[in-house]
């Protein structure tokens, strides 16, 4: 299976590659449209701000490639947020593959922003991407979050519910970092690679 990781300028690309190596997948780090279109699975990681990652994708001329991609695509952290129409982080338009706006977490008494650490995942509907992860904990680092919509398959909570994982057809994303979420993260990546994901 050909898995590619888009080099969107984030610091977590090495960790994401290593997570796939643990699954016996040699994922290539790429910046060109041809490699992305030829892949069986595409990963869009993101560390930093929505504006920074979108600027990098624009610089690489990959916006239209991702908007028209027919291969399974998994966005991670900011990469997931950019699947939506708009992010309040820098007031930037996203890829528009999923409806909704990403907004800043409000926090609250005893709740710091950014939300950083292990939090419980709550399944909202069955989906091959998140099979066998309901009630598990995953690792989050984020100040902005996507809303809980019909595309949300896992929810998290940090003063308010937010989308922890989303799926619409071949488009998927996780707000948490699967590469840093031990067994549950490996399970989600394995689910994304499985033939059941495309069924």
CB 4 within 8 A of CB 16: no
The tokens 């966005």 sit on which residue? 75
Position 134 scores a pLDDT of 96
CB 40 within 8 A of CB 70: no
Q: Which residues are catalytic?
A: 77, 177, 179
| DSSP string over the chain | --EEEE--S-TTHHHHHHHHHTTT--PEEE-SHHHHHH-SEEEE---S-HHHHHHHHHHTT-HHHHHT--S-EEEETHHHHTTEEEETTTTEE---SEEEEEEE---BTTB-SSEEEEEE-EESS--GGGTT-TT-EEEEEESEE----TTEEEEEESSSEEEEEEEETTEEEESS-GGGSHHHHHHHHHHHHSHHHH-
Please identify every stretch of the chain with a pLDDT value under 70, giving residue numbers as ranges. Answer: 11
Q: Residue 166: beta bridge partners?
A: 152, 173
Position 107 scores a pLDDT of 78
Domain ranges of the chain: 3-198
Report the C-alpha gap between 11 and 15 in whole angstroms.
Answer: 8
Report the C-alpha gap between 61 and 31 in whole angstroms.
Answer: 9
**CATH code of the region 3-198:** 3.40.50.880
For residue range 78-131, what is the model confidence (pLDDT) as tens digits? 999 999 999 999 999 999 999 999 999 997 788 999 999 999 999 999 999 999
Position 11 scores a pLDDT of 65
Position 108 scores a pLDDT of 79
């Amino acid at each position: 299976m050909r898995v590619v990781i888009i080099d969107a300028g984030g610091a977590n690309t090495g960790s994401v590659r290593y997570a796939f190596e643990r699954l016996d997948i040699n994922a290539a780090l790429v910046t060109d449209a041809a490699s992305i279109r030829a892949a069986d699975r595409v990963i869009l990681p993101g560390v930093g701000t929505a504006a920074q990652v979108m600027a990098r994708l624009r610089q690489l001329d990959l916006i239209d490639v991702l908007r028209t991609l027919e291969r399974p695509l998994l966005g991670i952290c900011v990469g997931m947020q950019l699947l939506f129409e708009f992010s309040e982080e820098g007031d930037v338009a996203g890829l528009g593959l999923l409806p909704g706006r990403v907004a800043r977490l409000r926090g609250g008494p005893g709740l710091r922003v950014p939300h950083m650490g292990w939090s419980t995942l709550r399944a909202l509907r069955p989906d091959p991407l998140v099979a066998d992860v309901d009630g598990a904990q995953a690792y989050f680092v984020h100040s902005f979050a996507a809303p809980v919509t019909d595309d949300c398959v896992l929810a998290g909570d940090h003063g308010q519910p937010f989308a922890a994982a989303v799926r619409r057809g071949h488009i998927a994303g996780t707000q948490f970092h699967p590469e840093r979420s031990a067994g549950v993260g490996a399970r989600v990546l394995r689910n994304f690679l499985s033939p059941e994901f495309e069924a």
